[in-house]
Amino acid sequence: MPELPEVETTLRGIEPFLTGHAIREIVVRNPSLRWPVPAEVHRATGRGVTRCWRRGKYLLVELDPGTALTGQEPGGLLIHLGMSGSLRICDAADAPRKHDHVDIVVENDKCVRFNDPRRFGVFTWWSPPASSHKLLGSLGPEPLSAEFSGNHLWRNSRGRNGAVKNFIMDGKIVVGVGNIYASEALFMSGIHPARAAGRISAPRYDALAGAIRDVLSHAIRRGGTTLRDFQGADGNPGYFAQELLVYERAGLPCFQCGTPVRRKVIGQRSSYYCPRCQR
């Protein structure tokens, strides 16, 4: 599943092909994604892209708002890669492959193509302010922003008995901490994933917030190194092999102490941890 670093890498990959260019057309081959692709997406036709940005794992393509005279609806395209989605750059004339559901065709005949075998992705329209969109409204702070801190985690966790791993994966608390990076950050900060969120001290949350930032920014930097492959001949979107400390390493020795890494299901998700290093 694409996690925040892959989404950020995707953003950096598509941004130069969209920003400053006019959209010639939106081609919808299959509207049956997580929700049907609405007709509003065709409002993008003929309009310039002013910027591309990310909120959590949502990509926003913002369009020239026009004037009262042109009567354009301000806003733009809202894309989520779901479980298996990807975007790639190709020529508009290239034959679509299986699961290529939607194209954003740009004036120079380049095309950003949305592929999604499992169709849990989202391709829809947003109107400003983006924060009022039903998918974006309740999102917590960005993990790499100044708003996110150990203090933010500590304050919001008081009185919560649920596992800390579920707490940091809750998008209302902080966005974009998926299963892989939650396991990794908890290992890096020495916190047991099943520990009650409300029973972790402020200093330990400082360590955890720092680990979340480190693990995500490291992965984004690694993703950046694959950017040149973004529009490679094979059209591979440039997801990257991860160097992981505990994730999917059950039974293998902990890199810190040699104790076998354990796997435990928490909130229906596999969690990996060292029983000796994490308390």
Residue nearer to Zn ion on the CB measure, 187 or 230: 187
The burial of 69, by beta-carbon neighbours within 10 Å (0-12 exposed, 13-18 middle, 19 or more buried), is given as exposed
Q: Report the run of H or E that residue 54 belongs to, with start and end.
A: strand 49-55
- Residue span 48-87 as binding mask against Zn ion, x where in contact by CB under 5 A, dash where not: ----------------------------------------
Of the candidates 173, 163, 177, which has an alpha carbon nearest to the alpha carbon of residue 247? 177
Residue nearer to Zn ion on the CB measure, 225 or 259: 259
Size of site (CB under 5 A) for Zn ion: 7
Smallest gap, in angstroms, from Cβ of residue 254 to Zn ion?
A: 3
Q: Which stretch binds Zn ion (CB under 5 A): 27-35, 199-207, 211-219, 269-277?
A: 269-277
Going along 56-128, which residue ranges are E strands? Answer: 58-63, 75-80, 86-91, 100-106, 110-115, 122-126
Q: Residue 144 is encoded by which pair of tokens?
A: 């790499």
How many other C-beta atoms are found inside a 10 Å radius of the C-beta of residue 90? 17
Q: What are phi and psi of 180, to 5 degrees?
A: -65, -50
Smallest gap, in angstroms, from Cβ of residue 92 to Zn ion?
A: 52
Contact present, 125 and 43 (Cβ < 8 Å):
yes
Among 38, 83, 257, 260, binds Zn ion (CB under 5 A): 257
Catalytic residues: 2-3, 57, 269
Smallest gap, in angstroms, from Cβ of residue 150 to Zn ion?
A: 22
Among 127, 170, 256, 269, binds Zn ion (CB under 5 A): 256
230: alpha, beta or left, given left = phi > 0 and alpha = psi -120 to 50?
Answer: alpha
Under the criterion CB under 5 A, does residue 254 sit at the interface with Zn ion?
A: yes
Smallest gap, in angstroms, from Cβ of residue 255 to Zn ion?
A: 8
Under the criterion CB under 5 A, does residue 149 sit at the interface with Zn ion?
A: no
Q: In whole angstroms, give the CA distance from residue 140 to residue 132.
A: 13
Residue nearer to Zn ion on the CB measure, 155 or 279: 279
Residue nearer to Zn ion on the CB measure, 125 or 272: 272
Residue count of the chain: 279
Q: Residue 44 is encoded by which pair of tokens?
A: 């993008």
Q: Which stretch binds Zn ion (CB under 5 A): 23-31, 33-41, 198-206, 271-279?
A: 271-279
Among 97, 221, 276, 279, binds Zn ion (CB under 5 A): 276
Identify the sign of the CA torsion 90, 96, 102, 106. positive
What angle in degrees, to the nearest 10, is found between the helix axes of 202-225 and 4-18? 40
Q: In whole angstroms, give the CA distance from residue 36 to residue 133.
A: 16
- Residue span 213-252 as binding mask against Zn ion, x where in contact by CB under 5 A, dash where not: ----------------------------------------
- Residue span 90-109 as binding mask against Zn ion, x where in contact by CB under 5 A, dash where not: --------------------
Smallest gap, in angstroms, from Cβ of residue 276 to Zn ion?
A: 5
Under the criterion CB under 5 A, does residue 277 sit at the interface with Zn ion?
A: yes
Smallest gap, in angstroms, from Cβ of residue 189 to Zn ion?
A: 13
Residues that bind Zn ion (CB under 5 A): 254, 256-257, 259, 274, 276-277
